[in-house]
Amino acid sequence: MKHFFNRRENIVTEALDGLLQTSPAGSLARLDTYPDIKVILRADWDKSKVAVISGGGAGHEPSHAGFVGKGMLTAAVSGEIFASPSVDAVLTAIRAVAGPKGCLLIVKNYTGDRLNFGLAAEKARAEGFAVEMVIVADDIALPEITQPRGVAGTLFVHKIAGHFAEAGEDLKTVAFHAAAAAREIVSLGVSLSSVSIPGQAFEDRLGSNEGELGLGIHGEPGAERIAIQEVGAIIDKMAERLAPALTASADHALLINNLGAVPPLEMGVIANAVLASSLSKRVKLIVGPAPMMTALNMNGFSLSLIRLDPVREAALSSVVAVHAWVPPVTRHKPEIVAAPAAPAASRETARASHDRQVDALLRAVCERLVSLEEELNRLDARVGDGDTGSTVATGARSILSRIDTLPLADPAATMAAIGDILSTSMGGSSGVLLSIFFTSTGKAMSEGQDVRKALLAGLDRMTFYGGAKVGDRTMVDALAPALNSLASAGPTAAAAAAGAGAESTKSMRKARAGRASYVGESNLDGVADPGAVAVANVFQVVAGLA
């Protein structure tokens, strides 16, 4: 797989610098120990409260540096991609932010993190710092192991510890709430792809119809492979695993975490499925969906839940000044607002009426367009997708089938009715454009304009919305000169102008609108635009009946 980076050895340092430069001024800082020791800390930190430190390998962005700020982490220590930071890095962070009240280390349950943070804690204590450490082991994918992994549920611990630290509580109290939270978090992940690490060869261990359930956040294999299926079925399987680990009859907070590569559209579908599943009745607060603890570009997501009580709910809901935390929302049903009714005038259908001349003209025009179906399709097959004739004929047949219901004695209402028919029956962009044309023409006529000026008003609206003008190789090349000639010289001149306009499109080697704009010049040369040909035929019929 492809990645955006300069040199692999600089990727983490450059990414953190990018974060620093795009965060609000005065919010974040880094220690001057780059590149060997990478510590991001609060720029406003004065050591008057308990410091909260977390970290781990890179590749989980926005964790951990994205959660540094007032109300959450005081500092984040980063290693290289999927590699624990060194003992020296953690110890340096402790020295930088721990004050008289001491500091709490929040560590995910991986051997490297436990050992490096643990040894740093012991060294810091030997130097006189008050240090406590909480280990998060929230993953339930492998229930038989004695040391479950720490995954996205760690963010609940960040938030709760940060809340009590910001409130001025002592280290013992902050550590107590953090440890209690860590014991009551459960998480489970699923993915449809393996992880691709920048600068390393990518090998997808999954088949085209396979996913993995119960995976970690470092690209390690899942607990089991599953067949790709509807997301609702995947959620049901996850709910079946998570439910036994939840506290019965208790409210929970739910974190819906994007593991890195799931598009927002699909995350919305996932969230909807989770909140329609059996887990929903256990959920009171929802965090996400959002990428919060990723696994680089893993195409998957994880669900984390924590039992709520009033104190914990307040801690999770308190306002923070970090860019990556998504404030929780209370589970609720979507609000549905009644759509406004159409104005009475729009709802009323003009009564059918008869006019012999209008009836004859409409029938003749529609029959001509139906007869051109094959010819227009042939032209469009050379410059577009080959369906102009069928699209036009469909609209014409719809008008013919309803001609006895039209208010033919009322020209303005007839124009509006044709616009309505074409908007629902003709399809494609041409159907919408012609609907705009007839609807706008009918409106102009109802406001007192004569038919010729009203037709020009309809053309103006159609070209405004459609964007085409004379010379762009569309129906406008025939329609615009025809309507201008109709207004000044009558139907015969209009027919001649439409014919000349359609003929001119044969020499236009570049289309600037419509599907023909995607076609090469050699395919357009000598071929008339089918929409313009249809317009020219309409004006021939009009002139013949005038």
Label residue 374 exposed, middle or buried (CB < 10 Å: 0-12, 13-18, 19+). exposed
Distance CA 493, CA 484 (A): 10
Contact indicator for 389, 372 with CB cutoff of 8 Å:
yes
Asked which of 40-44, 202-206, 302-306, 469-473 is least confident by mean pLDDT, the reply is: 202-206
Q: Which one-letter DSSP state was computed for residue 209?
A: T
For residue range 515-537, list pLDDT tens digits in order: 444 444 555 667 788 999 999 99
**pLDDT recorded at residue 532:** 94
**Banded pLDDT at 347 (limits 50, 70, 90):** very low
Q: Which residues pair with 285 in a beta bridge?
A: 253, 330
pTM over 0.75: yes
Q: Which residue in 492, 506, 516 sits closest to 381, CA to CA? A: 516
**pLDDT recorded at residue 147:** 87
DSSP-based three-state secondary structure for 8:
helix
- 371 pLDDT above the threshold of 90: yes
**pLDDT recorded at residue 299:** 95
Q: Which CATH code is given to the segment(s) 350-545?
A: 1.25.40.340
Q: Which CATH code is given to the segment(s) 8-179?
A: 3.40.50.10440
Q: Which residue in 454, 480, 446 sits closest to 466, CA to CA? A: 480
Candidate list 60, 64, 163, 218, residue with the active-site label: 218
**pLDDT recorded at residue 524:** 64
Label residue 48 exposed, middle or buried (CB < 10 Å: 0-12, 13-18, 19+). exposed
Does 218 qualify as catalytic in the annotation?
yes
Annotate 457-518 with three-state secondary structure.
HHHHHHHHHHCCCCCCCCCHHHHHHHHHHHHHHCHHHHHHHHHHHHHHHHHCCCCCCCHHHH
Q: Which one-letter DSSP state was computed for residue 68?
A: B
Give me the mean pLDDT over the 135-145 stretch. 92
Distance CA 489, CA 222 (A): 78
Contact indicator for 413, 407 with CB cutoff of 8 Å:
yes
For residue range 488-505, list pLDDT tens digits in order: 889 999 999 999 999 998
Q: Which one-letter DSSP state was computed for residue 193?
A: S
Give percent of the chain above pLDDT 90: 79
Contact indicator for 138, 304 with CB cutoff of 8 Å:
yes
Q: Domain map of the chain by residue range?
A: 8-179, 186-198+209-330, 350-545
For residue range 86-138, list pLDDT tens digits in order: 999 999 999 999 999 999 999 999 999 999 999 999 999 999 999 999 999 99
DSSP string across 96-164: HH-BTTBEEEEEES-HHHHHHHHHHHHHHHHTT--EEEEEE--B-S-TT-SSPPP-TTHHHHHHHHHHH
Query: 186-198+209-330 architecture in CATH?
Result: 2-Layer Sandwich (3.30)
Sheet strands (E) in 1-59: 28-30, 38-42, 51-58
**Banded pLDDT at 349 (limits 50, 70, 90):** low
**pLDDT recorded at residue 516:** 47
